[in-house]
Chain A
């Protein structure tokens, strides 16, 4: 089975620009979550998508938005980039089961904002 794949692996943007990060879920998984991991920190929950709708969101401003497509792939969009948005963005997929949530993570997209 294929794992979670993310693209691009690295990118550099400047303040104020917009970025789109992409994620393909592991085969058989129907839920995708996005996490932001700043250097030296644990991953922070951004949001989760299930059946193409956002069904959970962390403490991130509206300029962080996402999509989930019928094939369960997903995009994370960030508008009006700020320096503090520099981080590793991790996508994770899972098969939504009550009481269990073992996420399979991708290798991440490293975003640098200058």
Chain B
């Protein structure tokens, strides 16, 4: 009965470094989402996978952001050449639904701080 697992919980990086954030969704969940939550704000959509296919990446703020889910399970969000404005909590969510917006189950997030 494990939920969505994200690692690391906290990440501190210097500006210009690359970072990789991992999401392990609930087993069997076909839909996977990444959101970015700035301090004091609601989560904002980054990208969506259905199994291994990235169906929507319209929320990625720049080409420095890249996400993958090669085997339709674990997903990685990579940020290259990090900048201070990338500091935020990155949330991963999974859903068993393929059709219609189903309830999404969230991990505890990765808090990224760029110095």
Question: Does B bind A?
Answer: no
Which A residues fall within an 8 A CB radius of B?
none
